[in-house]
Structure 1
Amino acid sequence: MVATADSLVPDLPPSTSDTSADSADLARFGYEPVLHRKLGRYASFAAGFSFVSILTTIFQFFGLGYSFGGAAFFWTWPIVFAGQFLVALNFAELAARYPLSGSIYQWSRHLAGELVGWFAGWMMIIAQIVTAAAAAIALQVVLPSIWSGFQLVGTDSSLTSHDGAVNAVILGSALLVITTFINVAGIDWMARINSLGVTIEIIGVIAVIAVFFTHADRGPSVVMETDQAAPGPYWAAFLVSGLMAAYVMVGFDSAGELSEETKNPRHVAPRTILTALAVSALGGGLILLGALMAAPSLTDGSLGAGGLAYVIEAKLDTTPGKVVLACVAVAITVCTLAIQTAGSRLMFSMARDGRLPFSARLSAVHPRFGTPAWPSVVIGVLGIGLLVLNLGNAAIFATMASVCIVTLYLAYLLVTVPLLVRRIKGWPADDATTETGAPLFGLGRFGIPINALAVVWGIAMAINLAWPREEVYTPAGGSWWMLWGAPLFVLVTVLAGILVHRLVTPGRSAAALDTAVQPA
């Protein structure tokens, strides 16, 4: 049985971490509690923090931001955080009311009906598959710098070279095999490894910040400098440099994706969604500021080309520098693991509703491990397939990162836009509380303005991300389809989604589908 309307949202359970109460809560939504509920507060936080993974993503994209906006690109970081925090506030409120796996799909579905919810889930699945592949190839940024033996092909380790691109595919594919095995082995193994990895990443973040601030060559006023920016109007360069922060601050909703494996998710998930984003923003902002203060030179091109690795290598001796890079490698590993975990739960959630091809297989849970094993395998195989298709393509890194993040922002909009419509109509009808009277997270009278700003922000960022700029998509030249890669990818994703949706709903009209989940 599957819950199909807001009217089926249950009375809230007592405020307790007891898994039997959580299971009863889930059953009132119409779902059997088949996943193992083992995640505590820190493991839930780690899921969101590792998806954002500032060590991974800032190492990847620092050069992009600096090469366009110069030192003043730093200000894109707090701006993007403010916009994404508006989105996170809305997600936190939904997580408290719909503690279900596959959060983006489930939230959109309960707010706007089956059809909108299905496309939100579909676009999020595609984004997570591509994001997992894009995160995995980031190993190429650090492993050959730690030990030359990791460069298995040729000698040039740069991602923009043919040898580097081929080697990145090999390392990324190996990582996806490892994360697939971990995901299949059980949520407890995933949680232990992910939590340990996040702890190491946090230590690495603190160490990097400490090194940068104790070896600074200039003061914090450096963030006001625009001399190093790309030619042309600074506002245009600033918008491009903002893509760096936009690529980083996503995935904080992962705590919601794991709600059915989290103890007391109505209270834990909203707080860990917000905490994961806030801690990531604070740590990332200090890394950016410290790197700009500590960089040996701002003008010789090394900072734009080498990014954080250039600053670390300049400020640390060989051994300490390699230790920091090892922390980055751990961060990349748990980032890929977290993305694949979130994607597998979303695929499982849609499949148990019969909304995907091969739903019976994809919704099956391993009797011993308590995991949806096939979704993990599918995401791993498709991620490796994407890497193999791009074998030898030196533009693989920037292209994959751009197109997957655009799709992810659109999936977010398919939640925030319906939520705004529902708020205008009076959602929520009252302040939700537990049976003991403890309030759940809510935005109260600020819900509509915060939601409206989140929608405006999401639309603006989707346009900025997808805009066909030569300097982003074809910096070394290329075909027209590469320039228009993001809009074309979204179009193909939507068209493929229409075909798949018709396959899983034969003989039913869109109107009939939309009435399957009518909001109360």
Structure 2
Amino acid sequence: MKDSPVTDNSDLASFGYRQELKRSMGSFSSFAAGFSYISILTGLFQMFHLGYGVAGPAFFWTWPFVLAGQLLVALCFAELASRFPLSGGVYQWAKFTGNSFFGWMTGWIYLACLIVTLAAVAMALQVSLPQISSSFQIIGTLNDPKSVAVNAILLGSILIVISTIINARGIKLLAVVNNIGVFAELVGIILLIVLLFLSRVRSPVEAVVNIQAGGSGFNSFPDLTVLMAATALTASYVLYGFDTAGTLAEETHDPRKKAPRAILQALLAAGFSGLLVLLFALMAVPDLGMPDLGNISGGLPMLVKSVLGETAGKLFLCIVIFAILVCTFAVHSGAVRLMFAMGRDGRLPFSKSLSEVSRKTQVPVLATLLCGLAAIIILVVNIQFPKVFELVTSIGMLWANLAYWIVVAVQLKNRFTSARKGVDIDAKFSLGKWGFPVNILALIWSSFMIINVSWPRTATYGLGWYNQYAAWLYTAVLICLGVFVHYYKLHKNKRESIS
């Protein structure tokens, strides 16, 4: 029998919270939230050139590798989403399986990640819009890297403003836009897969194994392992954010059942469709040695136009742009819900204002505005960075996986504690006897992801020690600031309770 809203509200009350957000999301909307965050048409079209520029077609093999690793994390998250159906996702999971400090640090890091990711996704317009019409290259030309970066920031800032308006109007409008966008993206992906397959000029073996041209390539699987870490950034950037379905739990009907399923469905649907897009694209491209395939002004958008023709290619890029819009809205909504959840617990400065929900739209309006403003500031502050595109995307990936690492680490610790105490941790979704091995492998995988994404590669972060170690420096500052804010709020709350 389908749980009623009253049952969902009572379930929420058992955690000490009252229903403030509007429960209006069903199964498809929950799935759409996670799928639109991952957004194959956004991530692949935005990041294809980075992987191809390093390893050529060989970077295809990083996709199934990263998908398998992220699936381990998603399985752990699905179990947690079933046990703790609360707005804020990873923040709540770390808090309830660990303690308030782990919850705070996870929420703090992931909130920063979501705001950075919002900035990074918005910049994806630069990859597609100028290829539809050169008039979208408002500043300078596509041949000037600095002009490309500044134009990307301008287009991204405009999109973030639009996202702020849509998110501030309420979850109902956002869900409708999201559902339409995900449906269009699914149709677009299927259409792209079919058209690329029909346009193939080489076999799968010639495309991704016996490679004669393009990038670094490889002649054996030992060579592939050397390239794996450096080229995994494309897949790593695309295949995260599946936890968004759990983040919107308080706006979903029967979230204990629907959120875990949506998390896994979103990752698997995006993972396998992305795998086919990559494979058939490499089978269809006229020349694997085309230098622009590894350039931001070329990449997958150029490949699609070269295979489908100028007119059909541009029409398909319009679907890609719509996917970018919806992805931006989804990331923004996730950041807002996390800020709301932390503010509701009194864990952020100005918590009362940040957690205040509008009676008209049933959305925390101030949190929505601040998330959008912070994302624009991130773009503007880094406008002079020589590799602003790579920096922002890599920082977002690093902080996401750092937050994921904390969650799976405290979850594993909780498993050992529960096992010793004989506590039943079953929920509507449970890994059962597979819980321990999956959790251990997920922790190992998350550790690899953190090291790999933050590694000071010149190809990712540019020349100069400050540029190469920017990810580590920014992360150290974020953690130190997070520790300071945590203990400051803790001391302030104690002082207020005494007075």
Q: TM-score, normalised by structure 1?
A: 0.90
Where does residue 473 of structure 1 map in the other structure?
A: 461
For 1:366, what is the secondary structure of its paired residue? coil
In structure 2, stretches of 5+ residues that fail to align are 495-499
**8 A Cα contact 1:72 1:225, kept in partner:** no
List 4+ stretches of structure 1 deviating above 4 A. Answer: 231-234
**Matches of 1:373 and 1:267 in 2, distance apart?**
29
Call closer, same or farther: CA 1:288–1:341 in 2, change over 3 Å. same
Assess, with a 3 A threshold, how the Cα gap between structure 1 residues 212 and 496 changes in structure 2: closer, same or farther.
same
Q: Is the 8 A contact 1:254 1:273 kept in 2?
A: yes
Asked if 1:315 corresponds to 2:300, the answer is no
Q: Deviations over 1:168-212 (max 9, x none)?
A: 111111110111111110000000011111111111111211121
2:98 is the counterpart of 1:112: yes
Deviates most, 122-131 or 309-318:
309-318
Deviation of 1:391 after TM superposition, in Å, equals: 2.7
Alignment match, 1:240: 230
The 5-angstrom pairing of residues 20-169 of structure 1 reads 20-156=6-142, 161-169=145-153
Measured in 2, the distance between the counterparts of 1:73 and 1:226 equals 11
Q: Does 1:493 align with 2:478?
A: yes
Q: Does 1:381 align with 2:367?
A: no
Of 184, 189, 195, the match for 1:211: 195
Q: Give the distance between the partners of 1:299 and 1:196, measured in 2 at CA.
A: 37
TM-score of the pair, normalised by structure 2: 0.94
Alignment of 1:67-466 (within 5 A): 67-156=53-142, 161-221=145-205, 222-225=207-210, 228-230=214-216, 234-305=224-295, 306-391=298-383, 393-426=385-418, 429-430=423-424, 432=426, 440-466=428-454
Residue 248 of structure 1: CA displacement?
Answer: 0.9
The alpha-carbon deviation at position 38 of structure 1 amounts to 0.3
Q: Secondary structure at the match of 2:363?
A: coil
Range with bigger deviation, 163-172 or 378-387: 163-172
CA distance in 1, matches of 2:317, 2:234: 20
User: Is the partner of 2:28 in helix, strand or coil?
Assistant: helix
Range 389-398 or range 85-94, more displaced: 389-398
2:95 maps to a residue whose letter is: R
SS at match of 1:413: helix
What SS does structure 2 have at the residue aligned with 1:506? helix
Bigger mean CA offset, 32-41 vs 142-151 = 142-151
Structure 1 position 146, deviation (Å): 1.5
User: Residue 74 of structure 1: CA displacement?
Assistant: 1.3
Q: Counterparts of 2:154 and 2:48 in 1: how far apart (Å)?
A: 24
- What is the RMSD of the two structures over their aligned residues, measured on CA atoms? 1.7
Matched length? 484
- Look up the match of 1:506: 491
The change in CA–CA distance for 1:347 and 1:78 in structure 2 (over 3 A counts) is same
Question: Greater shift after overlay, 320-329 or 255-264?
Answer: 320-329
Q: Which region of structure 1 is more displaced relative to structure 2, 389-398 or 458-467?
A: 389-398
Contact kept? 2:387, 2:460, Cα under 8 Å: no
How far residue 148 of structure 1 moved from its aligned partner, in angstroms, is: 2.5
Which deviates more from structure 2 when the two are superposed, residues 303-312 or residues 263-272?
303-312
Q: Deviations over 1:23-58 (max 9, x none)?
A: 111011110101000001111111000110111111
Distance (Å, rounded) in 1 between the aligned partners of 2:40 and 2:87: 25
Secondary structure in 1 matching 2:429? coil
Which residue identity does 2:27 align to in structure 1? R
CA distance in structure 2 between the aligned counterparts of 1:49 and 1:501, rounded to whole angstroms: 32
State the AA in 2 paired with 1:378. L
Within 2, Cα distance between the matches of 1:300 and 1:106?
A: 47
Cα 1:105–1:431, aligned 2, differ >3 Å: closer, same or farther? closer
Structure 2: how far apart are the matches of 1:412 and 1:270? 16
Residues 68-111 of structure 1 show CA distances to partners (whole Å, capped at 9, x for unaligned) of 22322211111111110010001000100100000111000001
| 337-346 or 491-500: bigger deviation | 491-500
C-alpha displacement of 1:304: 2.0
Measured in 1, the distance between the counterparts of 2:169 and 2:307 equals: 40
Q: State the alpha-carbon separation in 2 of the partners of residues 358 and 431 from structure 1.
A: 35
Q: Secondary structure at the match of 2:139?
A: coil
C-alpha separation in 2, matches of 1:72 and 1:389: 35
- Distance across 2 between alignment mates of 1:288 and 1:74: 7
Q: 1:103 to 1:216 in 2, by over 3 A?
A: same
**Mean Cα deviation higher: 118-127 or 485-494:** 485-494
Aligned match of 1:437: none
Q: Where in structure 1 are there 5+ consecutive unaligned residues? A: 1-14, 434-439, 510-520
Identity %: 43
Q: How far apart are residue 507 of structure 1 and its match?
A: 5.9
Q: Is the 1:118–1:355 Cα contact (8 Å) retained in structure 2?
A: yes
C-alpha separation between the residues in 2 aligned to 1:468 and 1:489?
Answer: 13
Q: Partners in 1 of 2:131 and 2:215 — Cα distance?
A: 28
Q: What amino acid sits opposite 2:371 in the alignment? A: I
Q: 1:406-437 CA distances to partner (integer Å, 9 max, x unpaired)?
A: 1110000110001111112235822646xxxx
Separation in structure 2 between the aligned mates of residue 290 and residue 322 of structure 1, nearest angstrom? 19
Q: After the TM superposition, which of the residue ranges 62-71 and 167-176 deviates more from structure 2?
A: 62-71
- Report deviation, 1:18: 1.5
